[in-house]
Amino acid sequence: MPLTPSSLVLVAVMPSPRDLEIARLLGWYRIPLRTAPKVVAVDYLAFYQTGVFKEDKWAVRFIAPVRGHELCTRFELLRDEPDHPRANEEYFKIQIGPLEELPHPVPAGKWRRITFFYTTGEYLLNADTINELIVHTDERQLLWQSLRERASQAQAYGANELPKMDLDPQLLTIILGLKNLAD
C-alpha cells in the first residue's frame, strides 16, 4: 500500500545506525513495551534519526510500511546480547517492508528530543520541519478516532507472514556487527 494522505504514521526514534541496518536488511524495528505508544498497528513507521547519525542527524529521512507486529523479549530479537540488562524485557517487534527515502528529509529544527508520536501521510509529505508533523485541532480528533478503530481491529498480536530471506549468516554478522546469528 503506498503512502497516502490518510495513512496512519507513527514517528519512531531510530537510535543507532545498527538499528537502521536491522530495519533495512532484516525488516523489523523494536519498541520497548514499557515505553511503547498505545497503538502500534499503523500503516507506516517514519524514522527520526538521532544525533549519532552525524550529517544525517535530527531528521526523518526514511519511512517503511508496517506489515505486522508481535511481542517478544529483547533477547529473542538480539541474541548476541544475552547479558544485556533488558534482555528479558518485552518488546514489540514491528515487521516492516522496505525502507523508502522521503522526497525531502524532515529536519527537527529546534526540536532534538523526539519520542513516539502519530501523524498522517499528508502531514509527512508536506512537512518542512518536525513541528509541522504535529496534527492539531479537529484533525487530531479524526486521527485519534482512526487509531482507536485500528487498535480495536488488531485484537491479537501476530506477525504477518514474511518472505524467507536467503542471506548468508556470516554476511549479516559482518554487516550488523553481530556475534552469532545462528543461536
Determine the angle formed by the axes of helices 17-26 and 169-176, rounding to 10 degrees: 150
**What's the confidence (pLDDT) of residue 120?**
93
Residue 136 DSSP code: -
Helix (H, G, I), strand (E, B) or coil at 129: coil
Residue matched to cell numbers 556470516: 170
**What's the confidence (pLDDT) of residue 181?**
45
Burial tier of 26 (Cβ tally within 10 Å: 0-12, 13-18, 19+): middle
**What's the confidence (pLDDT) of residue 183?**
47
Residue matched to cell numbers 522521503: 102
pTM score, whole prediction: 0.79
**What's the confidence (pLDDT) of residue 1?**
72
CB 94 within 8 A of CB 29: yes
Domains parsed from the chain with CATH numbers: 8-176 (2.30.130.30)
What parts of the chain have a pLDDT lower than 70?
154-183
